[in-house]
Amino acid sequence: MLKKIISLTGSKRGGWQLGIVLALSVSTSRAENADALGLIPQPQTVLRSEGVFRLQPPVRIFTDTAARESGEYLAARLRGATGYPVSVEAAIPAQIHQGDILLTAHQAKAGLGDEGYELTVKPGEIKIQAASPAGVFYGGQTLLQLFPPEIFATGRVDGVIWTVPAVQIEDQPRFPWRGFMLDVSRHFFNKAEIEQTLDFMAGHKLNIFHWHLVDDHGWRIEIKKYPKLTQTGAWRKNIGFELDAQESTAYGPDGRYGGFYTQADIREVVAYAQARHITIVPEIEMPGHSTAALAAYPELSCTGGPFNMDLDAGIFNGIYCAGNERTFQFLEDVLAEVFQLFPGEYIHVGGDEVPKDNWKHCEKCQARIKAEGLKDEQELQSYFIRRMEKYINAHGRKLVGWSEILQGGLAQNATVMDWVGGGAEAANGGHDVVMAANDFTYLCYYQSLDRPPKLKAARRYLPLDKVYAFDPVPAGVKPASAPHILGVEGCLWTVFFASMHEVEEMSFPRLCALAETAWSPKAARDFDGFSRRLERHLTRLDRAGVAYWNDHALRIGGWQPAQISAAAKVLEWAVPPQIVEPGQYRLSLNYTQGKHGLKIDWAALLENGQEIVRDTHEGLAGAGYNRPVKARDWNYFLTLPAVKPGAEYAVRVSVSGAGGTNSTGVVFLDPPAADSKK
């Protein structure tokens, strides 16, 4: 369990290619000196010098034509926090004067690539050189991190001396695909919130925004030829997923839950992303996860509907009829409008978790299998994807799909987004691959074993250090096939997260780790150094107003299978003296592994062996906790009215095995002072 400086897990709100080894790694003290800069992601080389650059008004930024947009972006950031007048001059002066900043996209060293840059800070000047506008932009992001954290404030901050340490940085990314996926189908986030997401991506040098626009639970993109997609498919009866209705503001005038982006909204978001050198990859799910579309146009299904969008019926997964020609005409019509909105080369078609029972019983689908000489429904899925790929390729785009598009045979030019395996196989077969392995990149998983009572998340555990340890090049990839690994993507499925605050809290600081995994040289990555840099980086997130997870609870014990029986049994753990104080404590029993669960009857607080307060309710840790989490499930609240001098305190629980006795877990205690900070 990591605590605040190393507390890389907690809730806070405030102000935001392999080859070159870190030059500072030759000396531990010098490396720690570089860590003190708090740069995330870690650049390839960082050489510190004596002195600092001090920003003083009036500020002049000189750019060439290619770097002009990055200069304007940097100027806006500097004006906002400092209040200084900052001008952008569209010409490179013959001589740089004291205090000037120079950005150029024409003078970088060879070998830094399209996104690499050099950043030189001297006491009298700052210079960013790159081979492209993207490189200049990323050099500007590093420069901003070198300023005091207040530079990320959302408004003017007075009383700050705006200095930058003298450094020489050369940098470029390890991978060209550095992505973040946000699911807006389960819960809708408005245009301003999407632009906020793009801002924090840009600050971490992430360059692919995978916009999951379509799923069973909502259709979020306006398609003019098919208006019912948003009239019907963008809305449902309630928020669903056992969430409090007040956790989101995404309600229409009629009270229905949901929303969608107009085509004008999407054009604005795309332009906003392009200004930050982010490419948007839209996902239009097919052939499964299509209930929202089928609720609007049930004739595209095998059964003809009706389809329930109210979520009261539980989990569902609509599937298009693969034997109906109207299905393919519909999807081609939809994609034709998508092509007009998104200029990037990739179109994501999903292709995951396709239930094929309807196909097995559909006369049209079975006729398609026979007519095309297909073996079974698996090959029918491959036929579906291959057919859509031909249409996508004919319009100069590339198809991306989840791991399951490998089933039945991979489409000729498809890119695989590997979430459950198949990445090495695809790469060795000559296909490009984006690694989104759920064990390492799914930010919807719990990031701490101490699960707060109000937090709902997917059933698995993904701590910060595991995210950081991820190597996107999977085992089994042949050296000659390694270039087919385009990069890595963090994925946030919003099943349990209906507000942007929760999206940020689940993303950070794990997205910081993933950004470094995607950008920094593998040989330079070091979790201890990252932890030191993250301490400073969190203050930037504070200033930028970005929520992040910060764990205050203390691990006080745990349980093993040998301690559990079928009958109720009492377990007890001491309360550490250093956290004893009056107020309400939260006791959390967290399953870690095993075949069975732990049933909890009650928990009590003891003073010198005598029970002084008890919380009685049925809790379950482990088996069954993959269902939507109810508050106070495995969390117990115990209030200590006053501390008795010299007294010893402990917590006691009554537990038994749920379905068996094979479970292991850990126990956390959240003291009153820590709880008040959340």
Query: What is the pLDDT at residue 33?
Result: 67
Query: What is the pLDDT at residue 9?
Result: 30
What is the residue-averaged pLDDT of the chain? 90
Within a domain: residue 301?
A: yes
Contact assessment for residue 320 and residue 328, using Cβ atoms and an 8 Å cutoff: no
State whether 384 and 446 are in the same domain.
yes
Query: What is the pLDDT at residue 624?
Result: 44
State whether 495 and 355 are in the same domain.
yes
What's 574-638 look like in SS3?
Answer: ECCHHHCCCEEEEEEEEEEEECCEEEEEEEEEEECCEEEEEEEEEEEECCCCCCCCCCCCCEEEE
Q: How many structural domains comprise the chain?
A: 3
Please spell the DSSP secondary structure of 422-441, one letter per residue: -HHHHHHTT--EEE--HHHH
Q: Which of 308-321 are b and which e, b meaning 16 or more Cβ less than 10 Å from the residue's Cβ?
A: ebebeeeeebbbbb
Within a domain: residue 630?
A: yes
Please spell the DSSP secondary structure of 217-269, one letter per residue: TEE-B--TT-THHHHTTTEESS--TT--GGG---B-TTS-EE--B-HHHHHHH
State whether 323 and 451 are in the same domain.
yes
Rg (Cα) of the chain, in Å, rounded?
A: 27
Query: What is the pLDDT at residue 552?
Result: 73
State whether 280 and 154 are in the same domain.
no
User: For residues 247 and 551, what is the distance between their CA atoms, to the nearest angstrom?
Assistant: 22
Within a domain: residue 456?
A: yes
Query: What is the pLDDT at residue 673?
Result: 63
Within a domain: residue 364?
A: yes
User: For residues 48 and 165, what is the distance between their CA atoms, to the nearest angstrom?
Assistant: 8
State whether 181 and 153 are in the same domain.
no
How does pLDDT run across 478-501, given as a tens digit for each residue?
A: 999 999 999 999 999 999 999 999
Query: For residue 344, is it left (φ>0), alpha (ψ between -120 and 50) or beta?
Result: beta
Which residues carry out catalysis?
Answer: 215, 289, 353
Q: Which of 493, 519, 545 is the last residue of a domain?
A: 519
State whether 505 and 638 are in the same domain.
no
Query: What is the pLDDT at residue 615?
Result: 94
Here the CATH number for the domain that contains residue 339 is 3.20.20.80
State whether 562 and 501 are in the same domain.
no
Query: What is the pLDDT at residue 25?
Result: 35
Within a domain: residue 4?
A: no
Q: Which of 171, 202, 228 is the last residue of a domain?
A: 171
Here the CATH number for the domain that contains residue 115 is 3.30.379.10
Here the CATH number for the domain that contains residue 574 is 2.60.120
User: For residues 347 and 331, what is the distance between their CA atoms, to the nearest angstrom?
Assistant: 13
Identify the segments of the chain with pLDDT beneath 70: 1-33, 311-316, 452-455, 459, 623-633, 673-678
Phi, psi for residue 457 in degrees, rounded to 5: -155, 170
Query: What is the pLDDT at residue 4?
Result: 27
State whether 144 and 229 are in the same domain.
no
State whether 227 and 301 are in the same domain.
yes
Within a domain: residue 543?
A: no
Within a domain: residue 665?
A: yes
Output the pTM of the full model. 0.87
State whether 509 and 632 are in the same domain.
no
Within a domain: residue 6?
A: no
State whether 382 and 490 are in the same domain.
yes
Which residue range(s) make up the domain with 231?
Answer: 177-261+274-519
Q: Which of 114, 146, 171 is the last residue of a domain?
A: 171
Q: Is the peptide bond before 93 cis (omega within 30 degrees of 0)?
A: no
State whether 579 and 501 are in the same domain.
no
